[in-house]
Structure 1
């Protein structure tokens, strides 16, 4: 889980810089950017000259950059050499005149080219670059649309242009956040034309406040934001993931809470401590869309982690560690009788076996039963009375059948429980009711399935 946000990453980087004798007095940490390097998600920040005279006396450049793990506050590295060669980052935003990256590109053929969203990134070998988006305006002075990137080697000053299709895989960001936000809002505002956006406002949508960069299992990066009806404050009608390279959009029809509402819910769970929630990141927890965020004290230090359900922001799990917070969140889900999975990315199974052990745990949301089943000794099944009242009278030796979504965890939440040793009689009418309920539940599951929106660039651009 991403426990380190941008402000904390910068603070940790500055602390590491201060530990190097004499270095902190001549350079400063630049803007930190999130990036996936091989399989590690980390924050990377350049070392910039801290003033004019520092630049004047160190014209060869600054001695490297800082890497901060996004999952471990103690993993902070000051990189000063690559493959035994010392780094000299001549082109940085603490430099002046022709050593400034913007001035350097201006003097080398980019004076009349639209440039935006300067991002410091490193390739898989650790070599540093500045990546800047190249764009064109498609409708007069409006309708900015990314067409590629220009990559600046901060050591040599070499500039390499790439189209969107030809950009190296290590480049995560081509589509600027501002472009994506504006184009999504144009799409939602003018869904039925300009006149409707002013008068009736039928079906008018907008993005929620804030947009975050997330990474999927496919190793691609996405801009994430919620989508809500115009005039709505706390609720969303769904959310979108926009590929930061290709701008391909995936929209998920999922009613739920906004990021702001989720943050307030997490803060309310520990209101006596006065913690402040960071901007949440979307995760898939046991098949359900979930916000994850850290809680900081007034000094900006991480004190706890929190999980909040997108579907129901009253379902919250908070603890000092992310692992314990996730466990508390799972308990809260079970206590609220949740048995519907979101999407179909997690494998579903049904098994039958004898109860070897059973124990119960009383929580603030109800009683959770933990069951060890023969043939599945490597998993501990968790079930609440909201799933089936038969769990209340289940004992070791009973034969049971359980259905569950396997996300790879040792403790598994059960979605369906049946004690085969108990033969409860049902009326024909009750059987019919249960069949209709199952049909409704399946319909709800299908309605939550991912809906891909193949939005072309011209459809995302204001018309």
Structure 2
């Protein structure tokens, strides 16, 4: 409550000043004092209720605006109640008129400062730029189940919750718990009356985020302080009471420690002076114990280790907007638009998608498109570290002309028109040197059906499969057959292989011609592009070959150099 009381008191500074001015410049001081005190008490009650409901952050910009509004409403009542006669033509000359003019000027200045501060917010972003991401390793396929599919399964399991009629499913949050990547979703009250009956929620659901066949598990962990609780048991209000001068970014989310205890986590930031624009050097995370309501804040990168998302998805989305839109300032974002990049809204959380790298660290992925309409190519993409907030922009200069996430989703949508299956959660990976969109295919009910691997530079190059590993293997096999993929396995060491050919298959299309063969005693499928080894088109069973190859762990290999002994004498 202290934060609410402080904010309310700060809202009357201008009105108190105007009342003092009236006492010093008018004769009927007793009436002015009585009316002023009465209005102050009445206004304090009304404004405290408003502050309690809406929780405006106690920033300089907000305080100037709120003081102006309160003074504009109460000062005429003060003059009327104290029977102060002031002609309209005299108002602008009076001390009160001057103070009102300066306040109005300050409010206009706040809006101007908000525009001028865009450069400061952009410069406060911890950012770096790289050419392309590291290749995806076949032993690490960080493909998550689409949250729509996970939510659908959890909704069907809600009957296991005690007093299930009191609750709905809360915000779904991807995170790592005890080494496993899972979705966590708390149960939340459905209404004010259900809160009065229940007082506390029953717990949360957990479901594996990497296994499409996983089933949700409900964990009993009662919580009094939640997003859907009312009065002082509301998480947002508890955080506001502890840190009223900070702005809360998005909705608080559940994070679970390795002992299974849930905590509510909320990103906070201090604004740039005179504005509510975020200063990204002043970002913290508030952690709330949902049982006791105790609140503690940390620097985002120094929060407890079990917290993966110190930076909220809403904050990450805002950072993408500032980074892409205001690279050369506000005027450039309106006129010229040099180097401007617009984040696509294909993400699963506030237009961003959480993913995990091979070290278990969470990032927010977003692809960036041109501000010009009807342009479906991606300019690059960003990864924002969910604990440090560092933004890495992969500019895609090595891969010009790749489609954006909307284009990848459209390919999936057109593949199954009769079933109304749609693409969800497109993520761009670098697979063996090839930018590749990986998309979840969902039915109209949000149930997972397939994975789609789409070559980002070729809309006709798409592979569909039931599992991530199966689809990855099939996609790599097709990549190996594509003569345009001269760097198909650039991250794999070259080795020498010799033997007798016992199977040969020639694959030809309008764009591609390649030869695949097997060697006796070896189940690896070797693929050689005819453009790289023209004599390979004459390869036949029984030929002795020497080859320099790059072998991948999925049973395929790309031939870099081929010698056929019968033809190379």
TM-score range, shorter chain: 0.7 to 0.9
Given that 1:207 and 1:226 are in contact with CA atoms closer than 8 Å, whether structure 2 keeps it comes out as yes
Shift of 1:267: 2.5
Number of the residue aligned with 2:449: 303
Aligned equivalent of 2:93: none
Residues 1:222 and 2:363 aligned together: yes
Contact 2:301 2:310 in 1 (8 A): no
Match of 1:416 in 2: 560
Find 2:289's aligned residue among 153, 162, 166.
Answer: 153
Once residues 239 and 162 of structure 1 are traced to their aligned partners in structure 2, the CA distance between those partners, rounded to angstroms, is 29
Deviations 1:190-228 (A, max 9, x none): 444554444333333332333211111122111212233
Q: What is residue 268 of structure 1 aligned with on the other side?
A: 414
Q: Is the 8 A contact 1:336 1:386 kept in 2?
A: no
* Structure 1 residues 369 and 123: alpha-carbon distance in aligned structure 2, compared to 1, 3 A threshold: farther
1:93 and 2:227 are equivalent in the alignment: yes
Shift of 1:420: 4.2
Deviations 1:165-194 (A, max 9, x none): 321222111223343333444344444455
Partner of 2:207: 68
- For residue 405 of structure 2, the aligned residue among 256, 259, 268 is 259
Q: Match of 1:165?
A: 301
Asked if 1:336 is matched to 2:482, the reply is yes
Q: 1:80 is matched with which residue?
A: 219
Question: Residue 372 of structure 1 contacts residue 379 of structure 1 at CA under 8 Å; is this kept in 2?
Answer: yes
1:259 is displaced (CA, Å) by 0.3
Indicate whether 1:315 and 2:454 are aligned.
no
SS where residue 236 of structure 2 aligns?
A: helix
SS of the residue 1:265 aligns to: helix
Other structure's SS at 1:170 match: coil
User: In terms of Rg, which structure is larger?
Assistant: 2
Aligned to 1:325: 471
Cα offset, 1:64, TM superposition:
1.6
C-alpha deviation, 1:367, in angstroms: 6.8
CA offset at residue 128 of structure 1?
Answer: 0.3
C-alpha displacement of 1:149: 0.5
The residue that corresponds to 1:120 in the other structure is: 254
| Structure 1 residue corresponding to 2:387, chosen from 241, 245, 250 | 245
Work out which structure has the larger RCO, using CA pairs closer than 8 Å and 6 or more positions apart in sequence.
Answer: 2
Residue 296 (structure 1) shift = 1.9
Matched, 1:347 2:492: yes
**Contact 2:546–2:563 (Cα < 8 Å) also in 1:** yes
* 8 Å Cα contact 1:339-1:415 kept in structure 2: no
Structure-2 residue corresponding to 1:447: none
Give the deviation of 1:234 after TM superposition: 0.6
Q: Is 1:176–2:321 an aligned residue pair?
A: no
Q: Is the 8 A contact 2:143 2:468 kept in 1?
A: no
Distance 1:405 1:379, change over 3 A: closer
- 1:6 aligns with 147
Residue 57 of structure 1 aligns to a residue in which SS? helix
Structure 2: how far apart are the matches of 1:49 and 1:199? Answer: 47
SS in 1 for 2:222: coil
SS in structure 1 of the partner of residue 304 of structure 2:
coil
The DSSP-based 3-state class of the residue aligned with 1:202 is: coil
1:399-434 deviation line (CA, Å, top 9, x unaligned): 23133263x32233x162412425569xxxxxxxxx
Structure 1 residues 65 and 183: CA distance shift in structure 2, 3 A: closer
Measure the CA separation in 2 of the matches of 1:194 and 1:54.
47
User: Which has the higher mean CA deviation after the structures are superposed, 41-50 or 21-30?
Assistant: 21-30
Indicate the residue corresponding to 1:103 in structure 2.
Answer: 237
Q: Is the 8 A contact 1:355 1:371 kept in 2?
A: no
Deviates more, 1:253-262 or 1:390-399: 390-399
Match of 1:437 in 2: none
Taking only aligned residues, the RMSD between alpha carbons, in angstroms, comes to: 3.0
Tell whether the 8 Å contact from 1:316 to 1:332 is kept in structure 2 after alignment.
no
Q: Return closer, same or farther for 1:204/1:381 CA change in 2, 3 Å cut-off.
A: same
TM-score normalised by structure 1 residue count: 0.79
Going from structure 1 to structure 2, the CA distance change for 1:296 and 1:136 (only over 3 Å counts) comes to same
TM-score w.r.t. structure 2 length? 0.65
Distance in structure 2 (CA, Å) of the matches to 1:101 and 1:353 = 67
Secondary structure of 1:334 counterpart? helix
Structure richer in helix, relative to its length = 2
Structure 1, unmatched stretches of 5+, are: 82-86, 426-463
The 1:343–1:207 alpha-carbon spacing in structure 2 relative to 1, beyond 3 Å, is farther
Q: Report the Cα distance in structure 2 between the residues aligned to 1:321 and 1:132, rounded to whole angstroms.
A: 35
